[in-house]
Each structure stands twice: as structure tokens, then as C-alpha cells.
Amino acid sequence: MRVGFIGTGNMGAPMGATVLGAGHDLAVHDLVRDAAAELVEAGARWADSPKAAGADAEVVCLSLPGPPEVEELVVGSGGLLDAMAKGSTLVDLSTNSPSLVRRLAERAAERGVGFLDAPVSGGVRGARKGSLAVMVGGSPDSFATCTPLFEAIGDNVFHVGEVGAGNVAKLVNNMLAFSSMMANAEALVLGAKAGVDPNVLWKIVRTSSGANFAWEYGARAILRDRLAPTFAVDLACKDVGLATGLAAELDVPLTMGTTAEALLRRYQGAGFAREDVLATVKALEEAAGVRVRGTWDEGDA
């Protein structure tokens, strides 16, 4: 399949690599050309513009920071939609606004272009392994056309419903994930301050009713002090804000979600904007006068 891939950052580059590795012809573009260097070296073709990436493609994939970037590239000055051929399909892998992707799908349909919103979950590690969860909204025909690409990047591919449904699922997931991360960091610090070895606490919770995915992997990353910015606070604020915005559109009250958003925005303004969400534990440690980072006992792994 001839694929255009636009956005080769932390997630886009490894996803593009798995698509290329599956045998598809790949043209890539990013605002920063060096971000696509490894893909080009592996056999992808560099496209000088979004239009060039999309002009000859059967499918164009986007992996961009958020709604403003996607909208500008697709129907704004980026002009991607104008360059795409009738019968081709545009796949937005970004975490986006359900209402925006529905509007973009309508514009695409006017030009005879299919549209799928297909946000992913699993982080950079999942992108590198091709083991992401892919949540797809759009027509069954477009979904069937693009299934080989989804299966290249993900082990768990879900056709959720019509356009927008994929992002509804992603926003619900991320709201839960970030709410859990905030609570887990507080739990580690509270237990340590009260005198419990955080390694022992980690083992207790993972086998008890408080267990969750974020505790299993996120709390362990905190204890190991391995907090590279794989998911920055800036992006977390964007995602949770999209979830609370969706709730406001639908008149659904969110107490936990809005609390998580307020806490993340506080950390965003306190110097953590570009740091990983889990790194916000540093502020809790400072306030409590206790350290949990770096206390991991490798013998207990």
C-alpha cells in the first residue's frame, strides 16, 4: 500500500517504522526533517510538504500533537485534503476532539476521501514493538481498507463505531490513566512518609484491590527513578482537557476528571510542562519531605 505519514515524533517515527517494516511504500514528512532521518535511512521517501506526502498515497496517516495542528494541516494552509486523490483515505492517529474529526470527515467526504479517527494507546514502547491499542472510528469499508496498517502498529485493533468514536474511547482511557497516575504518586509518598518501605507497598498494592496498570508500571518507574519524558504534562493537560470538554458538551458531570485536570495544570504552571507526568512526584516528595524515587530494590524485581 502507498502510505503517506505526517508527523514523525516520539510516536509517529516508531509507528512509521512498523508500517515500513510490514512492506508498505512509505513517504514521510515532519516539520523537523531530522525527525524522519531514521525512517528515510530505512527506506522511506522524504516528502518536502504535507501535500507531497499525500498526493500519491492511498492512505495518509497523521500523528500530530492535537486538534489545532490537525485542522490546520488538513483544511488550513497545509492543504493536505486538497492534494489527496478521490478514493484515498485519511487516518488521524492523533488524540483529537471528536467534534473536530467529525467535521473533518464531512469535508473529506465532499472530496471523495475516506476518513478514520484512530488514536492509539501504549506509549513509545508499544509503538516500537507494534503492540499498540488502536481505537478506530469510521465506516466499515474504510476500516477494512486500513486494517493491514492498523495490524502493523497494534496488537489490539478495535472498530469502535462512526467517526469520532475512536477519540471518545481514547479520551476516556487517558482521563482514567492520568487520574490513576496522580493518585498513585500521592499513595507512594503518603505510605513512605508514614514509614512503610515503598517497595513493600508497591508489592502489596499490585496484589490487592488498589492494583491498576499505572501502579504496575508507573509506580515502578517512579521507584526506579526512570522518568524520561515519554508523556509530557503539556500533552496530558491537552488530553484531559479534551475529555472534560467532551463532558461539558454532553452535560456529564466529572468530579474526578476535572480534579485531575486542575492538578495537571497546576504542575504545568510549576515547571513540569515538558517533564513526564510521573515526574510530578518530585513536587510531592519536596512538600512531604520524603523521597521515593530511586528506592527500588532490584532484588525484588
Nearest-angstrom CA–CA distance, 296 and 293: 8
Minimal CA–CA distance to 69: which of 238, 271, 230?
Answer: 238
- Per-residue cell: 95: 488524540
Q: How open is the CA angle 204-208-211, to the nearest 5 degrees?
A: 95
Is 170 an annotated catalytic residue?
Answer: yes
CB atoms within 10 A of CB 301: 8
Identified catalytic residue from 170, 203, 238, 282: 170
- Per-residue cell: 262: 486542575
**Residue 99 · residue 32 · CB < 8 Å:** no
Residue type, 155: D
Half-sphere exposure in the Cβ direction for 174 (13 Å, CA): 32
Minimal CA–CA distance to 150: which of 18, 299, 290, 7?
Answer: 18
3-state secondary structure of 38: helix
Nearest-angstrom CA–CA distance, 20 and 34: 18
Detail the DSSP E strand segments found in 77-233.
89-92, 114-117, 120-121, 132-137, 154-161
φ/ψ bin of 79: left (φ > 0), alpha (ψ from -120 to 50), beta (otherwise) = left
The label of the residue with cell 531530522 reads 34
Q: How open is the CA angle 259-263-267, to the nearest 5 degrees?
A: 170
User: Known catalytic residues?
Assistant: 170
